[in-house]
Copies of this chain bind each other. A is one copy, B any other.
Amino acid sequence: MQYAAPIARLIEELGRLPGVGPKTAQRLAFHLLLADREEAVRLAAAIVEARERVRHCSVCWNLTDADPCALCSDPARDRSLICVVEEPKDVAALERSRAFRGLYHVLQGAISPLDGIGPDKLRIKELLDRLGGVREVILATNPDVEGEATALYLSRLLQPLGVKVTRLARGLPEGGDLDYVDEVTLSRALEGRREM
């Protein structure tokens, strides 16, 4: 009996979060217990609301609370340009760079045989179904082994279909995560993209 049951349960649930060990879970639990009550209640409500309202966009497979998502329904975006990324956070990173005005396609990951993720696990078929009226597909998968493999796979699949396929310029640092790249580097990489 180290903690009262509701405290033990809170520590246990917090400990299931990625990268949160027992000590961190304990620290977060005491913060939620002792800090502003409103803050704790707002966090709980935000979790529930997000789970209830957020789903995948049926067009681009980004996370959204409206289907199609705000980007896919924005008439100001260039519909002839699709930027393919691995994760929703990559869309956010590219949007922060303000260097891209087309649409996105979120693959939901990258090809990774070691993790048992083959092309069939990604939203590739859904990408092929969107190619009508598209003149260019920009491959913006991460500049790491899995991202490169995915880009290569997609370029071989897309090029025979007569669509222009480009890849973000190799201004990106090797081995990084797209999401961690600063806005200027991302803008440069978009400007310098080259045909595969």
Tell me the A residues contacting B by CB distance below 8 Å.
1-7, 9-10, 12-14, 16-20, 23-24, 26-33, 37, 39-51, 53-54, 63-66, 69-71, 87-89, 91-92, 95-96, 179-180
Name the B residues within 8 Å of A48 (CB-CB): 40-41, 44
Provide the main secondary structure of the chain A interface: helix
When all copies of this chain in the complex are counted, the total is 2
Given A1-B71, A42-B13, the answer on whether A31 and B6 have CB atoms closer than 8 Å is no
Q: How far is the CA of A28 from the CA of B44 in the complex (A)?
A: 13
Q: How far is the CA of A44 from the CA of B5 in the complex (A)?
A: 16
Name the B residues within 8 Å of A23 (CB-CB): 179-180
Q: How far is the CA of A89 from the CA of B33 in the complex (A)?
A: 12
10 closest A-B pairs (Cβ-Cβ)? A2-B92, A44-B44, A44-B47, A4-B65, A13-B43, A10-B50, A13-B46, A6-B50, A10-B46, A6-B53
